[in-house]
Amino acid sequence: MSTKFAERARRTLGVGMAVLGIGLLAAAVGFAATTSGQAGHEAMLVGLGGLDLTPYRNTTVGDVGTDRFDPDAYLTDTLDSRTELLEDGRVLRIFEVEVVNKEIEIAPGVYFPAWTYNGQVPGPTLRAREGERIRILFTNVGDRPHSMHFHGYHSFEMDGAMLHQQVPPGGTFVYEFEADPVGMHLYHCHATPISQHIHNGLYGLWIVDPKEDRPPARELFMMMNGFDPNFDEENEIYSINTVAYHYKRHPIEVRQNELIRIYVANITEFDPINSFHVHATFFDYYPTGTQLEPRDFTDTIIQGQGERGIIEVRFPHTGDFMFHAHKTEFAERGWMGLFRVLPDEDGDG
């Protein structure tokens, strides 16, 4: 009996070991196949001294369609308006703005259910001249109360900030005030919870030009923003004008020595500061754009949330130059772009 049982046990053990052995062999072959399959999968990027650059690519993968929102167009677009002459000879400028829920693409393949002004994040850039009368026909097509709160001089009724000043879903409101003071400002929703309304996309630039134009320049609008798509109150994605690394994939082309005026604002929610740094040049900085004399000559500025200013810069050299948050954590998460500086028109670069 004992030998029979022992025999059976040995046989079972033998079969078991054989099965396990075959399984292990199959696993080994499979493992070897998967690991060898990876080598040479991607064309090698070669750097200085023949260095393989493949492991060093800090980037998103893919590209974002521009049919929903085109960051290149945002750089220069302003919201269309119509004007009327008031009895006192002043210009009345009329804008139409609506809040609408819309899904946007914030990084290749990453979609975010945004709340938008006129279907875009950032909202359209509103621009007027000092002293003009501004009228905004506001409609809330969204599904909760919203408002527009402008930075600048206006009456209490036009502040759009108090609870009772929020416009209900389906409601309308007319904001009216003077374009004052001169400078580079913001507008944003002031409904509660305000961090949610701002983070979800309800903000835009509000620019008041001086009566006498600033010197002619190539003008660009830039909003430093961030997104928290998993709603943990920390941003996963940072960007300039919403789409992570858009201007890294599609460099902004400028001319050598050309005067470039960048209207830059920071609306980034959750983080205390953001910053703007440009390579290979220095710039004049006009905080809030309210003075016509620069206050700083630098290559890096820091802005808190809601802070903004005007940068005037020239690139003396041709080539591709980075601009990015010098908060490198943000740069690693999408807030980086390139200026492609081309030889100036005369071709003497």
- Tell the smallest beta-carbon distance from residue 43 to another protein (Å): 12
CB nearer to another protein: give 5 or 297.
5
Q: Which residues pair with 149 in a beta bridge?
A: 188
**Runs of H (alpha helix) within 193-245:** 194-199
Q: How far is the CB of 9 from another protein (least distance, A)?
A: 5
Q: How far is the CB of 244 from another protein (least distance, A)?
A: 7
Q: In the complex with another protein, which residue's Cβ is closer, 244 or 254?
A: 244
Beta carbon nearer to another protein, 33 or 85: 33
Query: Closest approach of Cβ 16 to another protein, in Å?
Result: 9
Q: Which CB, 157 or 329, lies closer to another protein? A: 329
Nearer to another protein, 84 or 233 (CB): 233
Beta-strand pair 203-209/126-129? parallel
Q: Which residues pair with 42 in a beta bridge?
A: none
Least distance between another protein and beta carbon 11 (Å): 12
Question: Which token pair is 262?
Answer: 């960048």
CA-CA distance, 30 to 14, in Å (whole number)?
Answer: 24
What is the strand order of the sheet 296-298 is part of? 237-240, 218-227, 260-266, 308-313, 283-287, 296-298
In the complex, the smallest distance separating the C-beta of residue 302 from another protein, rounded to whole angstroms, is 20
Q: In sequence order, what are the residues at sequence separation of 6 or more whose Cβ sits closer than 8 angstroms to the Cβ of residue 325?
A: 224, 238, 274, 275, 276, 277, 331, 335, 336
**Looking at beta carbons only, is 320 or 329 nearer to another protein?**
329
Q: Residue 282: which residues within 8 A CB-CB, separation 6 or more?
A: 297, 298, 299, 313
Q: Which is nearer to another protein, 57 or 211 (CB)?
A: 57
Measuring CA to CA, how many Å separate 134 from each of 30, 41, 117?
A: 70, 58, 17
d(CA 76, CA 70): 11
- Based on CB atoms, which residue is closest to another protein, 19 or 292? 19
Q: How far is the CB of 13 from another protein (least distance, A)?
A: 6
Residues sharing a CB contact under 8 Å with residue 247, sequence separation 6 or more, in sequence order: 71, 240, 241, 323, 336, 337, 338
Which chain residues interact with another protein by CB under 8 A?
Answer: 1-2, 4-6, 8-10, 13, 17, 20, 24, 27-28, 30-32, 34-35, 38, 41-42, 52, 54-61, 106-112, 227, 229-230, 232, 236, 244-245, 329, 332-334
- In angstroms, the CA 304 to CA 308 distance is 8
Residue 166 CB, shortest distance to another protein, in Å, is: 24
